[in-house]
């Protein structure tokens, strides 16, 4: 994936395309996307662990807001990164199956680990096991058929991503026709989201009771499409406002914007668009930043970026496994102790799996689906 699921530290060579004159300098920008991925995954993990171990963060807290819109920023990052890496690769019907195979090799290995781990824990706990549900998850078809039929916390977004990958060739085709066509499609996606935020989601009903509606892939498609739009419009957007101002404005929304109560209040009405705009703005700001961090800060953030998919997907699995395998330890470490232990263990396990399983499978997928000579430009 490109956001939650990152193929690698994105560099000019891995992006597969030289920048056009209107675009920003590449190296710092791409490294900064890894920083953002890692920090978002960390914030979502802390949101869930606070919810399970301490207190539920609500819409008035930065953590409560990031628990919802951290995933939204992942969708924006996903569209942006896919456009960077594949806009030249996807040059016709023949390239679409190769693109989807590459995505499967990126998504499925870790997702299978999570699904099979949850299945094993369900068996050990004598909970009902549905072969149909397992099959829907192992194939990630649940995103197309039944978006709420996911087996571990947060996995709904993976189902959404698979739907977006299937639509990516069409989104890129629109932009290849013209920027106006592409932007028109993005606005149409936003129009669909407007129906969700204004009509299908009820601000008087807790979000938990409307979760199946919220996670419908078409409610969040505009965020993924906005990420693609950033790639094709970044030069123009950059001239309108500086990255620093965008970042300050985005952070202000997530910290001081006046809204409280249930998180349904930040996904409906005007607030849906305030927080969505802030999410897109933060990604654009980071995309355009020339900030360089010292190695002792930047290197851990880059590694956290590599572990993003595992941190996002495995922390609920590890939390539950500890409760199942070491209940006495869990009881003695309840609260902050469990939060720290699960966080550290998740990051370590995620990095190991990335280097031993995820990255090798990505390379295998690329070897099985070589780009045609005209599909990608020469590597710099």
Crossing angle for the helix pair 269-287 and 217-240, to the nearest 10 degrees = 50
Distance CA 49, CA 63 (A): 11
Tell whether the model's pLDDT for residue 43 goes beyond 80: yes
Task: Give the model's pLDDT for residue 28.
Answer: 37
Task: Give the model's pLDDT for residue 125.
Answer: 95
Per-residue pLDDT reduced to its tens digit, 230-242: 999 986 555 556 8
Q: Residue 194, SS3?
A: helix
Task: Give the model's pLDDT for residue 119.
Answer: 98
Inter-residue contact 265 to 203 (CB < 8 Å): yes
Task: Give the model's pLDDT for residue 371.
Answer: 79
- The lowest-confidence range among 2-16, 88-102, 140-154, 221-235 is 2-16
Which comes out higher in pLDDT, residue 42 or 13? Answer: 42
Task: Give the model's pLDDT for residue 143.
Answer: 98
Task: Give the model's pLDDT for residue 241.
Answer: 65
Tell whether the model's pLDDT for residue 29 goes beyond 90: no
Task: Give the model's pLDDT for residue 358.
Answer: 97
Inter-residue contact 310 to 351 (CB < 8 Å): yes
Inter-residue contact 230 to 237 (CB < 8 Å): yes
Task: Give the model's pLDDT for residue 27.
Answer: 35
- Most confident segment among 104-118, 226-240, 291-305: 104-118
Inter-residue contact 106 to 35 (CB < 8 Å): no
Q: What is the CA radius of gyration of the chain?
A: 20
Inter-residue contact 275 to 253 (CB < 8 Å): yes
Return the closest-CA partner of residue 86 out of 378, 380, 375.
375
Tell whether the model's pLDDT for residue 304 goes beyond 50: yes
Q: In the Cβ-directed half-sphere of 346, how many Cα atoms lie within 13 Å? A: 31
- The lowest-confidence range among 2-16, 58-72, 218-232 is 2-16
Confidence of residue 30 (pLDDT cuts 50, 70, 90): low
229 Cβ contact partners less than 8 Å away, ≥ 6 residues apart: 79, 182, 183, 186
> Where does residue 34 rank: exposed (0-12), middle (13-18), buried (19+ CB within 10 A)?
buried
Task: Give the model's pLDDT for residue 95.
Answer: 92
Tell whether the model's pLDDT for residue 179 goes beyond 70: yes
Distance CA 103, CA 101 (A): 5
- Mean pLDDT over residues 117-136, rounded? 96
What is the pLDDT of the chain when averaged over all its residues? 89
- Mean pLDDT over residues 178-202, rounded? 98
Tell whether the model's pLDDT for residue 173 goes beyond 70: yes
Task: Give the model's pLDDT for residue 6.
Answer: 53
The DSSP-derived string for 114-156 is: HHHHHHHHHHHTT----HHHHHHHHTTTHHHH-TT--SSTTTH
Return the closest-CA partner of residue 314 out of 149, 140, 151, 148.
151
- Whole-number percent of the chain with pLDDT over 90: 78
With a threshold of 0.75, does the pTM exceed it? yes
């Amino acid at each position: 994936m490109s956001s939650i699921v990152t193929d690698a530290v994105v560099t000019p060579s891995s992006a597969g395309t030289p920048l056009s004159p209107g675009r920003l300098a590449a190296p710092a920008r791409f490294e900064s996307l890894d920083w953002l991925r890692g920090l978002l995954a960390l914030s979502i993990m802390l949101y869930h662990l606070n919810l399970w171990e301490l207190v539920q963060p609500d819409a008035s807290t930065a953590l409560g807001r990031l628990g919802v819109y951290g995933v939204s920023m992942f969708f924006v990052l996903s569209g942006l990164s896919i456009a960077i890496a594949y806009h030249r690769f996807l040059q016709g019907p023949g390239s679409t199956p190769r693109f989807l195979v590459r995505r499967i090799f990126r998504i499925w290995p870790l997702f299978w680990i999570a699904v099979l781990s949850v299945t094993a824990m369900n068996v050990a706990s004598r909970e009902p096991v549905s072969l149909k549900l397992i099959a829907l998850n192992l194939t990630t078809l649940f995103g197309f058929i039944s978006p709420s039929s996911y087996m571990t916390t947060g996995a709904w977004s993976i189902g959404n991503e698979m739907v977006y990958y299937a639509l990516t060739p069409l989104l890129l085709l629109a932009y290849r026709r013209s920027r106006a066509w592409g932007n028109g499609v993005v606005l149409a996606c936003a129009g669909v989201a407007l129906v969700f935020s204004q009509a299908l989601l009820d601000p008087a009903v807790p979000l938990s009771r409307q979760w199946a509606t919220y996670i419908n892939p078409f409610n969040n498609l505009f965020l993924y499409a906005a990420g693609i739009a950033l790639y094709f419009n970044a030069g123009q957007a950059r001239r309108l406002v500086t990255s620093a101002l965008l970042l300050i404005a985005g952070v202000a929304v997530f910290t001081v914007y006046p809204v409280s109560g249930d998180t349904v209040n930040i996904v409906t009405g005007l607030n849906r668009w305030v927080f969505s705009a802030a999410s897109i703005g933060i990604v654009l700001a980071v995309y355009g930043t020339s900030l360089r961090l010292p190695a002792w800060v930047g290197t851990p953030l880059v590694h956290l970026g590599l572990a993003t998919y595992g941190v996002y997907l495995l922390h609920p699995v590890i939390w539950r496994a500890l409760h199942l395998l070491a209940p006495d330890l869990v009881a003695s470490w309840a609260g902050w102790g469990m939060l720290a232990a699960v966080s550290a263990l998740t990051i370590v396990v995620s990095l190991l799996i990335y280097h031993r399983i995820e990255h090798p499978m990505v390379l295998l997928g690329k070897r099985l689906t070589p780009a045609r000579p005209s599909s990608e430009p020469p590597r710099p």
